[in-house]
Structure 1
C-alpha cells in the first residue's frame, strides 16, 4: 500500500474498541522452538478457538506449506489461513499497529532491530508491511525502533511504557524527552506514564504488556505478588505504587486494580520465567488470559472477570508459548495484533 506522508494527527484506538480482525501467526520454524513445534501450536490453536467461538475473525499467517497444512488440520475454519513469510510469531512487535487518521485506517510501521539485537530473524523486518498490504491499509512510517508490546494505549492519548525498554541504549538511545516526542508524533500521545522495569528474564527488556494494562479509560490492571517466593514481588509492588500516583491525559487519577500474579514459575530448564496473566488479549466479547497451571490462576481469572463484566474471560494454557531457553518467551498478546473497525 502507499505510504501516508503527511503529519495529520494519529488516533490510536484502545484495544477494547470494536475490532475488524485479529492477526496472529502459526509456529513454523522448529529451530526457534527447540525442535518442538507441537507444544506452542497447541497454545496458539486454543487461543484461536477461544477467539473464534466468541465471533472474532482471526487472520492466521502460515509460513510454508507444512505450516499451512498443519494449521488447517488443527483449526479447520476457525481462522482464515494466509501464506506469509515471517521470522517468528511475535506479531505484536513485528506487525503494524493499526490506527486512524481522519477516521480512516492507517498501519503504523516502525523499525525493528530484533529486540535490541538479540533475535535477528529473516522476514521479521518485512512482515509488518505484508500484513498492512493484506489488510489493504496504507502505511505511515517512522524512522525509529519500536515494538508494539512496549506501549499500551487508553484510546484517549495516554500511553503506558517502561524505561527499561524505551530508554534502553540497545533501541534508540533516547532520552525521556525524545521518547515522549516520538510517541506524540506516532500515536498522538498526550501523556506518557513511565514504569521503571518489567519482569525478571523478560526477553524483550521489560515490555509493558507483560506487567500493566489499560482496561478502560482511567483504569489500569497490574499484578500482586503471589507469595513470599515470588521473584518479582518488589517489582510488582513498585509498578502498583507508580500507577497509583499517575494521572492520565484527561487529568484523571488512575484507578489501579491488582490481580493475583503468577508467582514463581520455572520453565523446563529450571529457569525463572516471565510468566504473567497481564499478557491477555482483549477481543470482541472475550478476553483470553494466559494461564500456567499455578495456584493463583483461578483467583486471577475471577478478578479479571469482574474487570470485564461484558466479556467472557477465558483462561488458556500458555506454557508452550512461554517456552524455555531462547525458545518462546511471550504469550497471547505478544503474538497478536488487533485491527480496529
Structure 2
C-alpha cells in the first residue's frame, strides 16, 4: 500500500530527536566543542513553546554527564541509546503523518565509508522509545538525502540516490517507485551533484530545502573562491526549470579543514523547529547574517537563530544532520 506524504518540516512537531556527541575516540580534540554546540542547539530548541527534545546518548560512558548537563532543563529528556555517531537524520526513521507510523530503511554507512557499530539499529531504538510502529523497507536510504514539501514532492540528488554504493542498479524510475511506496512521493525533483568533499555523496539537505509549498531556498556563492559556486548555480537552474520558486541564500563561502581543503559547510543545514529556525554558523558572521535575513523573509512566523556549528562540522554535518522530528 502506498504511504501518505511525509509532513513538511514546518508542520508542528510533538518532539525533536537530537544526537549527543558521545564518542571521544571519534571526536578527539573536538569533542568538548561539539558538545557545547549541540548543547546550544538543544537549549534553543527547548525554549518556551518550542520542542520536546529527546536527546539520544550513544554510549553508556557518556550518559551520566549528559544527564547532569541537562538536569532541570524543561523540555529535554535524555535517552540512553547506542549509536556509532550522532547523524540521526540518516540513521533514524522518517516519521509519517501524526507520527502514527515511521519508515525505516537499511543503512550502510553512507556507501560503506563509515560503518560504525549500532548505527544500523538507531531506527529501531527511536521507534521503540517513541512508541511508533515501523514500516521496514529493504533498500538503503538516508533521511538527509531527501527534502519534503508535505504534499508529496521530494527533492533529492542523483549523486546520492543513484549512487551504486547504495542501491546498485537503481534508475530514476526505480527510485521514484520506492519513494512513492515508502514515503508517499507524488513527484521527485532530481538535482545533480551536492557539495564538494561531502562524504554523504551529495545529500540534498546541504544543497536545497523547501520553505513552503513550491518554494525552495538554495545557496548563492559567497566570495570569489567559493568552491561550490557552479554547483549552486546549476541547482538553481534545475529548480527553476521544474517550475519551483527559487530563493537564493548566501553560502558560508570557502570553509577549510586544518589541511586547507574545502569542507561542506552549508547554511542549508538549518533546522525548522516549532517557533524557530536554527541556522548553522561557521565563523563568517557577515555571510551568516545575510542568510538569516533571507530566511526571516520566507519563514517569517518563526524566530531565526544562528548558532555556531564548526566543531560539529568536523564530523561531517550540522544541525539538520543530527536531528529528526516527530510530526504532531
Q: What TM-score, normalized by structure 2, do the two folds share?
A: 0.96
Pick the aligned partner of 2:47 from 36, 39, 53: 53
Superposition deviation, residue 10 in structure 1: 2.7
The answer to whether the 8 Å contact 2:217/2:246 transfers is yes
Pick the aligned partner of 1:69 from 64, 73, 77: 64
Task: Provide the C-alpha distance between the structure 2 equivalents of 1:288 and 1:167, rounded to a whole number of angstroms.
Answer: 30
Superposition pairs of residues 64-143 of structure 1, within 5 angstroms? 64-78=59-73, 79-100=76-97, 105-143=100-138
Pick the aligned partner of 1:185 from 181, 186, 192: 181
Query: Unpaired segments of 5 or more residues in structure 2?
Result: none
TM-superposition CA deviations, 1:18-74 (whole Å, max 9, x none) = 000000111111121135410110111010011011431100011334322222333
The answer to whether the 8 Å contact 2:149/2:210 transfers is yes
Superposition deviation, residue 104 in structure 1: 6.4
Task: Provide the C-alpha distance between the structure 1 equivalents of 2:309 and 2:123, rounded to a whole number of angstroms.
Answer: 24
**Partner residue in 2 for 1:3:** none
Task: Provide the C-alpha distance between the structure 1 equivalents of 2:61 and 2:120, rounded to a whole number of angstroms.
Answer: 23
Pick the aligned partner of 1:167 from 159, 162, 180: 162
Superposition deviation, residue 254 in structure 1: 1.2
Return 63-72 or 214-223, whichever deviates more.
63-72
**Partner residue in 1 for 2:245:** 255
Equivalent position SS for 2:120: coil
In structure 2, relative to structure 1, the CA distance for the partners of 1:148 and 1:104 (3 Å cut) is closer
Task: Provide the C-alpha distance between the structure 1 equivalents of 2:190 and 2:196, rounded to a whole number of angstroms.
Answer: 18
Equivalent position SS for 2:306: strand
Pick the aligned partner of 1:272 from 262, 272, 285: 262
The answer to whether the 8 Å contact 2:240/2:246 transfers is yes
**Partner residue in 1 for 2:324:** 337
**Partner residue in 1 for 2:193:** 197
Task: Provide the C-alpha distance between the structure 2 equivalents of 1:8 and 1:218, rounded to a whole number of angstroms.
Answer: 23
**Partner residue in 1 for 2:6:** 12
**Partner residue in 2 for 1:242:** 238
Pick the aligned partner of 2:296 from 281, 300, 305: 305
Superposition deviation, residue 175 in structure 1: 0.9
Pick the aligned partner of 2:310 from 319, 324, 338: 319
Q: Which has the higher helix share?
A: 2
1:23 aligned to 2:17? yes
Where in structure 1 do 4 or more consecutive aligned residues deviate above 4 Å? none
Equivalent position SS for 2:96: strand
Return 284-293 or 59-68, whichever deviates more.
59-68
Return 116-125 or 301-310, whichever deviates more.
301-310
Superposition deviation, residue 76 in structure 1: 2.7
Q: What TM-score, normalized by structure 1, do the two folds share?
A: 0.92
Superposition deviation, residue 228 in structure 1: 1.3
Return 228-237 or 72-81, whichever deviates more.
72-81
In structure 2, relative to structure 1, the CA distance for the partners of 1:237 and 1:335 (3 Å cut) is same
Equivalent position SS for 2:219: strand
In structure 2, relative to structure 1, the CA distance for the partners of 1:180 and 1:8 (3 Å cut) is closer
1:222 aligned to 2:213? no
Task: Provide the C-alpha distance between the structure 2 equivalents of 1:227 and 1:9, rounded to a whole number of angstroms.
Answer: 43
The answer to whether the 8 Å contact 2:99/2:327 transfers is no
Task: Provide the C-alpha distance between the structure 2 equivalents of 1:104 and 1:39, rounded to a whole number of angstroms.
Answer: 33
Task: Provide the C-alpha distance between the structure 2 equivalents of 1:332 and 1:77, rounded to a whole number of angstroms.
Answer: 23
Pick the aligned partner of 1:211 from 200, 207, 212: 207
